[in-house]
Amino acid sequence: MGIKKIVLDVLKMLKGPTIIDVARRLLEIDGIKSVNIKVNEIDVETLTLTITIEGTDIDFNTIKNVIEDLGGVIHSVDEVTATKE
């Protein structure tokens, strides 16, 4: 039983770690199987990203900390899926 999928709308500074670094760091969190990051908008200083995270039991707070460490802010949780298997 747990959260299997989360879709986040994230604002990230253009400078600093690339979205490849973000993907690698998120993947290191327990319970996470795959991370997909799509760039929706490129502004002067920021990137607007859709981050789709899938796993066996996703812990939202750990994700939130990692993203903030890497210069990002979770704008909203757009989708969540939880199942009993």
Is residue 11 involved in binding a second copy (CB under 8 A)?
Answer: no
Question: Residues near 5 by Cβ (< 8 Å), separated by ≥ 6?
Answer: 52, 53, 54, 55, 58, 79, 80, 81
- Out of 13, 15, 17, 37, the only residue in the binding site for a second copy (CB under 8 A) is 37
Measure the N-to-C terminal CA separation of the chain; round to a whole number of Å. Answer: 6
- Out of 16, 65, 73, 81, the only residue in the binding site for a second copy (CB under 8 A) is 81
| Residue ranges that bind a second copy, judged by CB under 8 A | 1, 3, 6, 18-20, 23-24, 26-27, 32-39, 42, 60, 76-85
